[in-house]
Amino acid sequence: VAEDVVLLQSGCLCCTVRGDLVEGMRDLFLKRVKGEVPEFGRVVIETTGLADPAPIIHTLMTDPLISSRYKLDGIVATIDAVNGDRTLDAQVEAVKQAAVADRLVLTKADIADPTRVEVLRARLRGLNPAAPIIPAAMGRIDPAAILDAGLFNKNAKVPDVARWLNEEAYAAHQAAQQGHHHHHDANRHDAHIQAFVFTAAQPVSWAALGFALELMISSKGENLLRIKGIVNARESAQPLAIHGVQHVFHPPVPLPGWPDDDHRTRIVFITRDLSRAMVEDLLKGVLSLEALN
């Protein structure tokens, strides 16, 4: 963290990470404990436009001190409504950012051509069906629109699984894809990204499912941009929330209960160069073998 941590009039702290992100966040936490900076409830990490989000998520999920003191609330990607299409065409990292985000903010939406904005919206929905697309007029949005995007809302008593998972958006996207046979340019970065939901109607063996996911992560981790889901495991009286990014898989989190009457296992996959058929074949194969045994 920079030598001087600046306290803004709004009450926010402003600092710059000059080196390792882990050291910066540790230092900020220790300053808070020592009373060197005021109490804070959130940390907003702003990256460069071409940053790969995976290493940052990896850090937040795997470092013992960071993961015990900070919780990932959500990932917000900003897309220039005027130049967004060209950026997505030119930069694979921009496509990855849009694909894994929990919220998509369209900047310059007030000055962009409305037709081009709708085309860009459709493209973003194809990359990330579940993320709300929020237009920013003159750079302004309601902060509440991008906060509390994760599973655990600090203001809620129970996890908001339905909002976090939002599998209906992926199901609707899959139905639309099946109804329209588009021929995408294979050289376009979007053509390499898929977003889909794996479901299992009956309770599954967590040992078998965990093995299948570990196998997938070890062999295809680079292609797994994001995994999140709710699992009905035979070994657990409570539903389990799971979350993973590329080679990192967070330990399953027992939830207080099911969000509704739907007790199916539902796992969202966002992949790059990894087909839905390959993922489903592996999961179904391992689960069916376990059932036979």
pLDDT for res 156: 56
Average pLDDT across the chain, whole number: 84
249 DSSP β-pair partners = 244
Q: Which of 276, 213, 203 minimizes the C-alpha distance to 248?
A: 213
Residue 165 belongs to some domain of the structure: yes
Query: In terms of pLDDT, which residue wins out, 86 or 260?
Result: 86
How far is Cα 113 from Cα 222, in angstroms, rounded to an integer? 36
Residue 120 belongs to some domain of the structure: no
Number of domains in the chain: 1
pLDDT-derived band at 238, boundaries 50, 70, 90: very high
CATH number at residue 241: 3.30.1220.10
pLDDT for res 9: 60
pLDDT for res 1: 44
How far is Cα 61 from Cα 68, in angstroms, rounded to an integer? 9
pLDDT for res 157: 52
Percentage, residues of the chain above pLDDT 70? 83
Helix (H, G, I), strand (E, B) or coil at 175: helix
Residue 185 belongs to some domain of the structure: yes
Place of tokens 């409570």: 238
Q: Are strands 76-80 and 13-14 parallel, antiparallel or unpaired?
A: unpaired
How far is Cα 131 from Cα 19, in angstroms, rounded to an integer? 31
Residue 21 belongs to some domain of the structure: no
Query: In terms of pLDDT, which residue wins out, 22 or 101?
Result: 101
pLDDT for res 7: 58
Strands (E), 92-238: 103-107, 133-135, 193-200, 224-231
Place of tokens 């990607």: 77
SS (HEC) of 89-102:
HHCHHHHHHHHHCC
Q: Tens of pLDDT along 20-41? A: 778 888 888 999 999 988 888 8
Residue 209 belongs to some domain of the structure: yes
Query: In terms of pLDDT, which residue wins out, 105 or 180?
Result: 105
DSSP for residue 204? B
Query: In terms of pLDDT, which residue wins out, 183 or 47?
Result: 47
Place of tokens 């889901």: 229
Provide the 10 A C-beta neighbour count for residue 290: 16
Residue 227 belongs to some domain of the structure: yes
Of 15-19, 58-62, 107-111, 242-246, least confident by mean pLDDT is 15-19
DSSP 3-state percent helix, strand, coil across the chain (nearest 5): 40, 20, 40
Provide the 10 A C-beta neighbour count for residue 60: 22
Asked if residue 154 has pLDDT above 80, the reply is no
Residue 79 belongs to some domain of the structure: no
How far is Cα 240 from Cα 254, in angstroms, rounded to an integer? 5
Residue 172 belongs to some domain of the structure: yes
Query: In terms of pLDDT, which residue wins out, 245 or 160?
Result: 245
> What is the helix (H) or strand (E) element at residue 6, kind and residue range?
strand 6-7
Enter the tokens of residue 67: 């993961």
Q: Are the beta carbons of 1 and 24 closer than 8 angstroms? A: yes
Place of tokens 């237009």: 135
* Domain encompassing residue 272: 161-292
